[in-house]
Amino acid sequence: MSIGSARRELTAAVLGGGVAGALALVAGGQRWAEVTTERPAPLPPVVEVLSGADAAPLVPATGLVLLAAAAALFAVRSTGRVAVGLLMAVAGGVLAWSGIRAVAGGLATDAGTTDVTAGWPLLAVVAGVLGVAAGLVVVLRGRAWPGMGRRYERTPETPGPARPQTDEERAQSAWKALDRGEDPTA
């Protein structure tokens, strides 16, 4: 695999995970359902609007996971990248399941009738499928992708040449030696 195609695949996976996460956060903040509870006359019915975060709390949570995983793809290599890809695939699956559950009537309550708006849950399903696809691409192809350069890794410090001590440093070390019970003149 050439470096150019590996970078394109990495870019596509990062964008896929980032877009999936952003779509999940947008969908989670929108109105997903309206629950109407009837009350005895003369009281009017109570109408409660459920956002995506209320109806399916895993939607915004998986959106954040997908965004973080997309950013992490730049920093990890090899096995770490495969682990991040698995995390992306699982988060995407949970996201898609949450959207499907809402569309299929999983938001039904005993309190009254529920009207589900299908558009936002379907967007969560699309985001979940995109997250799964990006995660699987990372798992299958991620080991061959380039990582950050070694210049970003921490290297052990190598001692440089010792500089001569100043008069003040010599005096302090003599006093410290006396405090330890040593003879500084020896």
Identity of the residue numbered 115: D
Q: Is the peptide bond before 161 cis (omega within 30 degrees of 0)?
A: no
> pTM for the whole thing?
0.74
Q: Residue 109: pLDDT band by 50, 70, 90 thresholds? A: low
Quick one: how many helices (H) and strands (E) in the chain? 6, 3
Structure tokens at 91: 């988060």
Tell me how far apart the alpha carbons of residues 186 and 177 are, in angstroms, rounded to a whole number: 11
- DSSP symbol at 143: G
User: CA–CA separation, 66 vs 91, rounded Å?
Assistant: 7
For the stretch 118-160, pLDDT in tens is 899 999 999 999 999 999 999 999 988 877 766 656 666 766 6
Query: What pLDDT does residue 77 have?
Result: 87
Instruction: Answer yes or no: CATH 1.20.140 is held by domain 3-148.
Output: yes
Interatomic CA distance for residues 57 and 79, integer angstroms:
30
**Tokens describing residue 16:** 């896929």
Q: Write down the mean pLDDT value for the chain.
A: 88
Half-sphere exposure of 147 (CA within 13 A, CB side): 16
CA separation (Å) from 118 to 23, 49, 54, 178?
15, 14, 15, 81
Q: Are 33 and 107 in contact (CB under 8 A)?
A: yes
